[in-house]
Amino acid sequence: MISPKERIMDVTFGLFANQGYNSTGINQIISEAKVAKASFYQHFKSKEDLCVAFLNARHTYWFGELNSFINDKKGVKSKVLSSFDFLIHMNSKENFRGCSFLNILSEIPVDNIKILTVIQEHKKDLRNFFSDLIKDNSVSDHVYMLFESSIIETQMFKSNELIEKSKMIVSSLIE
């Protein structure tokens, strides 16, 4: 049987993806997760704490999927290009949902340091992912920026076209 905390997290994943952070209320989460209000607050002190837990879970899931997706690739260039293929895979799987972290960033006040810090850590880890593969910092930062902009553009236009164009640019940047 699924625990109340797991039900809350499962419902939160769907609601934050479909409605956004600000449009999702705690009462709706409690109702759809079929948990008591006391049970919710036993696991999460606030919606903000739930958001932090959601983002941490999303971070773990996303990087697990990315690493699994590129794991069998040999060589830096192959791994980096496959990471862009991973974006295409995720767009198909999640219907061009975009980046959960950037989606929430656009909804929080600028002074919400608790959530902002989790978002920044995710993006630092992504930047480090590329710098660990590509030893030239200038090239790895360029690839990171192409990757990030690909996520935003594909969400906005519901098309993988710019991922494919970014892959061609990346292919010319990496030997």
Write out pLDDT tens, residues 127-143.
999 999 999 999 999 99
CATH for 1-44 is 1.10.10.60
**Tokens coding 84:** 């862009």
Can you identify the CATH homologous superfamily of domain 46-173? Tetracycline Repressor, domain 2 (1.10.357.10)
Average pLDDT rounded to a whole number, residues 44-50: 97
Q: How far is CA 164 from the centre of its chain?
A: 20
Write out pLDDT tens, residues 51-97.
999 999 999 999 999 999 999 999 999 999 999 999 999 999 999 99
Domain residue extents for the chain: 1-44, 46-173
List Cβ neighbours of 52 (8 Å cut-off, separation of 6 or more).
Answer: 114, 115, 118
Write out pLDDT tens, residues 5-39.
999 999 999 999 999 999 999 999 999 999 999 99
